[in-house]
Amino acid sequence: MKIALAQLNYHIGNFELNTKKIIETIHAAKAKKVDLVVFAELAVCGYPARDFLEFTEFIELCDKAVVAIAAECKGIAAIVGCPSVNPKIEGKNLFNSAYFLEKGRVKAKVHKTLLPTYDVFDEYRYFEPNTQFELVELMGKKIALTICEDLWNVDEDPLYVKAPMDELIHLRPDLMINIAASPFDYRHREDRLEVLSNNCEKYNLPLIYVNHIGAQTELVFDGGSMVMNANGHLIDELKYFEEDFSIVEFNSGLCAFEAKEVSIGGAWQNEDNDKPLDVSGLETIERIYNALVLGIRDYFQKSGFSKATLGMSGGIDSAVVLALAAEALGKDNVLPVLMPSQYSTNHSVDDSMDMINLIGCKHETIAIKDIFDSFQTALKPQFKDLPFNLTEENMQARIRGVLLMAISNKFGYILLNTSNKSENAVGYGTLYGDMCGGLSVIGDVYKTQVFALARYINRNGIIIPENIITKEPSAELRPDQKDSDSLPEYEALDKVLYQYVELRKSSREIIAQGVDEVLVKRILKLVNTNEYKRHQTPPILRVSPKAFGIGRRMPIVGKYLS
């Protein structure tokens, strides 16, 4: 039996596009004498559809698309993910389903059992869990068909819940097929390989796994669809961050696939997650880079925009965002705007221009000194002789935000936010100023990782001038200002943030690792007291296991300071 893995980029709610892609792939597979083509979880409607799933018309369009796809499955079978309704169930009557299509019709439906509600997931809000377990049959072979988390549970997990395969294995299947919508983070490939390999060994069955690629607002899906034999050895692995298509020949037995095992590039086991954040690994930074480029590109294409603007300060954050945007959208579709003040240094302007010239994009320069002076004059009756402080610094940031949003509105550009995760964590940013924008590109990238990204961007030649990378970070909102005036050194800051945000360690646990108690409590207080700012940030492209945004839900007025 020839089985094709179809790893495609879907668009939520774009039934015409998604159906067209699926049908074209079915025809291509049929031309190659494929017997079964496998698509990803909720491929028909896109993932995550969220509250679209509460609209009756949306579900009707899903049904209509499945009927159209099934009509093309003559002489070939397909597995495709789509919501399904069971009108006999009261309350939530919607399932996250895998449709088995053959002979022009829906031959079977398998529903997802384990509905995730952790981190970015909220499937139990919409779907009912499966309670009945049956196999799918094709060409005399029995297939255990599961959906994403249904094959992620392992016995060693302290939160282990009985998985569908524990039931299906009693029906003596020949093959496992898992369709998934598994979002990217920079550790996820190793997790995925390890868990799926362990389950192949546990059930002594080969596996076909098909995942999404593409970005859906904050979430990036990296692909990495794969084939494993019953020993848990990787037979085939599809591309990352690209659409891909692969065919394998399936037979019965331990070595079920007629293909050579492939190298997986190192051990599957993760590094000790409790170790301090390590940003030096080239593979991790390369993954983050590819995810961010895909995230920007898909956000624009799926939103119907083509051009971006951003504030260009001469610092490393805006430089990295400019480089990423130019790669994702093309240099002619990115407009950096320089907005120097009386506190901006000459080298910041020069460094910005050096990078703009290296990339070859257009730019605008709008000095803000006169605007800032007029604001100060207007507020003189209220401020009187009060000293210059954070208020005046924030005024400059908000002036820049107004100018950038004006350009965005007038010319139809999306404003890219350039704040990093370290700044977002401790509130080192101005609401309605440097925190504004339509998309936060590096909001899930720590400052130390931003430096590593800059080095990676320059791997084949200088794109970001060396002076931007090596000079001390500064917001340049007052004379001789440095980030270190207000914040701990970024290397120390990021290590504590990683322990608290990603690993959810308490102050006591972090201090026990040898970190200074005063520093830890200062940082954690900054994180918790600035939650109100993060509730007002643009969508953040998620690249870590725990990003700010939909996957981290904290109360604004909570008292707990860990």
Rounded distance, CA 529 to CA 168, Å?
49
Q: Which amino acid would we find at residue 135?
A: L
Rounded distance, CA 91 to CA 524, Å?
42
Name 267's Cβ contacts closer than 8 Å, sequence gap at least 6: 190
* Torsion angle (degrees, nearest 10) of CA 516, 522, 527, 533: -150
List beta partners, residue 37.
4, 78
Rounded distance, CA 286 to CA 411, Å?
33
- Any idea which residues carry the catalytic annotation? 41, 112, 148
Structure tokens at 9: 């980029």
Rounded distance, CA 334 to CA 307, Å?
6
Task: Tell me which residue of 165, 201, 200, 196 sits closest to 182, measured CA to CA.
Answer: 196
Taking the CB of residue 311, how many other CB atoms lie within 10 A of it?
29
DSSP string, 107-150: EEEEE------STT--GGGT-PPP-----EEETTEEEEEEEGGG
In the chain, helix, strand, coil percent, each to 5? 40, 20, 45
- Strand residue runs (E) in 341-441: 364-365, 414-417, 439-440
Task: Please give the backbone phi and psi of residue 275, each rounded to the nearest 5 degrees, phi first.
Answer: -70, 155
| Inter-residue contact 312 to 429 (CB < 8 Å) | no
What's the distance, Cα to Cα, between the start and end of the chain in Å? 56
Task: Tell me which residue of 12, 81, 94 sits closest to 47, measured CA to CA.
Answer: 12
Name 174's Cβ contacts closer than 8 Å, sequence gap at least 6: 141, 142, 143, 205, 252, 256
| Inter-residue contact 95 to 112 (CB < 8 Å) | yes
Task: Please give the backbone phi and psi of residue 133, each rounded to the nearest 5 degrees, phi first.
Answer: -125, 120
Structure tokens at 463: 């794109």
List beta partners, residue 77.
36
Structure tokens at 396: 């400059």
Rounded distance, CA 21 to CA 499, Å?
42
Q: Taking each helix axis as running N to C, give the angle between helix 282-303 and helix 447-457, from 0 to 180 degrees, rounded to the nearest 10.
A: 90
- Residue keyed to tokens 């990003």: 547
Rounded distance, CA 43 to CA 46, Å?
5
Taking the CB of residue 165, how many other CB atoms lie within 10 A of it?
22
Name 205's Cβ contacts closer than 8 Å, sequence gap at least 6: 144, 169, 173, 174, 175, 176, 230
Does a cis peptide bond (omega within 30 degrees of 0) precede residue 206?
Answer: no
Rounded distance, CA 449 to CA 280, Å?
8
